[in-house]
């Protein structure tokens, strides 16, 4: 049974003037096949490990989760970017809405979960005010082991834990590089349980590694079904991957420089955040070829249906001709609610359900965009569970590097991020970054007359 479908009718010239005709589709499919071939070559060279994650051994993670079950009320995840966005997606999609709001008169089987990502004092203080050190478990996630925001939050939270827990070191596990890095060294010295992120899996491609799977297991999520869904994506001989990659490349090269992801489910709101990092950090690149600087990529935008029908859809429909919208449809919504019309004026709602209304509004938004010639694609899953979420993760993790490699850029690096990080290290006084502090002071000049 096919649990995920890709509908690209409204990306085709037969329905929207700016869309692909059959000739263009085949041309870009050839380009996508080339990108896929390059990706699979990297896999064979052991340089793109995310592809092999569905086959990993999950027994150690499940054993650890079982040992921790019922021991803590709260789980704090310390990480940022690729070390947190995937986990937030798993929680938002698969845990009950308002999971963190429930009170704990007694310790439950699965803890509440908090994400300490930003170095925002108000956020970190609020998390620590809600938790009790003796009843809290900490999971620190950073591939390099030296991510400055993660290091800072870990130090603050460890101090809080040390002051309030009898044996603070028994409240911590880490997820980091398998062999090297600051966090690996600390973990081995302190005896923290440590789980490896494969060396050939980058942060934004790591949700199906222990980065996402270990916390998910601690929260009672079926991680084997996540991996089973991820593995299913290639069973159609890469047809969905090639088709989506083709369509996005065509629009990127024909003036559609904004790529909107709009799931029609609040449960997938964080998935759109995860997608924005994957797309933007992988494809937004400046390359220097034969002395010519070339800018590549398109801007990812998050929208959530039906909420953003009341905000951004006005722009999508009648604004500039620079966007392609991808909808995600959940055909059968969990715990759907029938609508009972309490007043005559609302009689038209009688007998319908909230899930039905949500999906009707998706269809009408598709139609409204088509009516003004704006292209869209729709990805449908029959329901939202571990299997289909795993398939959505892996679908995009294939599509993005296929596009990058087809267009001769490296989708696995992030040089634009590293410069800012290195300036921060310099300003913080980290050894070895003195030259970055000096460079920052040379370039960071401002005029008072431009400040009002």
Q: What is the CATH number of the domain that holds 271?
A: 3.40.50.10490
Q: What's the chain's length in residues? A: 452
pLDDT at 401: 98
**Is residue 204 a contact partner of residue 281, using CB atoms and an 8 Å limit?**
yes
Could you say which of 406, 421, 447 is where a domain stops?
406
Three-state secondary structure call for residue 305: coil
User: Domain range for residue 92?
Assistant: 52-227
pLDDT of residue 229: 98
Same domain, yes or no, for 201 and 68? yes
CB-based burial label for 99 (10 Å; 0-12, 13-18, 19+) = middle
Q: How far is the C-alpha of 39 from the C-alpha of 403, rounded, in Å?
A: 10
For this structure, is 352 an active site residue? Answer: no
Exactly one of 166, 310, 335, 446 is catalytic; which is it?
310
What does the pLDDT read at residue 67?
Answer: 95
Residue ending a domain, choose from 227, 248, 265 = 227
pLDDT of residue 417: 84
* CA–CA distance, 315 with 44 (Å, rounded to integer): 44
Residue 420 lies in a domain: no
| Residue 281: active-site member | yes
Locate tokens 């569970």: which residue?
Answer: 385
Kindly name the residue from 13, 225, 421, 430 that is annotated as catalytic: 421
Low-confidence residues in the chain, pLDDT < 50? 102-107
Q: Please report whether residue 294 resides in a domain.
A: yes
Q: Tell me what pLDDT residue 145 has.
A: 86
User: Which candidate in 88, 281, 329, 366 is catalytic?
Assistant: 281
User: Number of folded domains in the chain?
Assistant: 2
- Is 370 catalytic? The answer is no
Token pair 């060396």 is found at 199
Predicted TM-score (pTM) of the model is: 0.95
DSSP string, 232-256: HTTTTTTHHHHHHHHHHHHHHTTT-
pLDDT for the residue numbered 34: 98
Q: What was the pLDDT predicted at 144?
A: 87
Contact call for residues 250 and 314 (beta carbons, < 8 A): no
- 34 and 154 fall within a common domain: no
Structure confidence by residue, pLDDT tens digits, 107-158: 456 789 999 999 999 999 999 999 999 999 999 999 988 899 999 999 999 9
| 397 and 339 housed in the same domain | yes
Query: Are 376 and 323 in a shared domain?
Result: yes
Rounded to whole angstroms, how far apart are CA atoms 23 and 11?
14
Give the helix/strand (H/E) hosting 423.
helix 415-428
């Amino acid at each position: 049974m096919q649990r995920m479908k890709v509908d690209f009718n409204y990306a085709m010239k037969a329905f929207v003037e700016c869309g692909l005709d059959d000739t263009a589709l085949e041309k870009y499919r050839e380009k996508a096949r080339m990108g896929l071939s390059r990706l699979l070559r990297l896999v064979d060279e052991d340089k793109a490990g995310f592809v092999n994650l569905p086959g990993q051994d999950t027994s150690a993670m499940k054993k650890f989760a079982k040992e921790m079950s019922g021991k803590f009320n709260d789980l704090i995840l310390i990480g940022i970017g690729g070390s947190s966005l995937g986990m937030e997606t798993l929680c938002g999609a698969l845990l009950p809405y308002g999971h963190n709001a429930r009170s704990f008169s007694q310790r439950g089987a699965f803890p509440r979960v908090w994400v300490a990502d930003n170095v925002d004092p108000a956020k970190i203080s609020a998390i620590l005010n809600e938790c009790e050190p003796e009843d809290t478990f900490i999971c620190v996630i950073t591939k390099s082991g030296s991510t400055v925001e993660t290091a800072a939050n870990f130090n603050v939270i460890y101090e809080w834990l040390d002051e309030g827990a009898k044996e603070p070191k028994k409240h911590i596990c880490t997820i980091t590089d398998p062999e090297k890095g600051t966090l690996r060294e600390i973990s081995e010295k302190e005896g923290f349980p440590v789980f490896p992120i494969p060396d050939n899996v980058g942060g934004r491609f790591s949700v199906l590694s222990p980065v996402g799977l270990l916390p998910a297991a601690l929260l009672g999520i079926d991680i084997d079904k996540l991996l089973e869904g991820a593995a299913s994506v290639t069973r159609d001989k890469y047809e969905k991957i090639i088709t989506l990659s083709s369509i996005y490349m065509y629009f990127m090269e024909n003036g559609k420089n904004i790529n909107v992801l709009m799931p029609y489910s609040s449960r997938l709101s964080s998935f759109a955040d995860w997608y924005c990092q994957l797309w933007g950090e992988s494809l937004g690149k400046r390359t220097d070829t034969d002395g010519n600087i070339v800018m590549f990529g398109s801007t990812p935008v998050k929208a959530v249906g039906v909420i953003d029908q009341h905000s951004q859809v006005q722009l999508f429909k009648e604004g500039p001709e620079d966007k392609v919208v991808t909808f995600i449809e959940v055909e059968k919504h969990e715990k759907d609610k029938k609508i009972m019309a309490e007043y005559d004026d609302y009689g038209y709602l009688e007998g319908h359900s909230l899930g039905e209304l949500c999906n009707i509004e998706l269809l009408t938004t598709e139609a409204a965009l088509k009516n003004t010639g704006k292209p869209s694609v729709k990805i449908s899953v029959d329901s939202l569970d571990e299997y289909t979420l795993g398939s959505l993760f892996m679908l995009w993790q294939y599509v993005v590097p296929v596009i990058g490699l087809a267009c001769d850029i490296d989708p696995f690096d992030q040089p634009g991020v590293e410069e800012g990080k290195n300036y921060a290290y310099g300003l913080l006084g980290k050894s070895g970054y003195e030259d970055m502090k000096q460079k920052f002071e040379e370039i960071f000049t401002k005029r008072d007359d431009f400040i009002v």
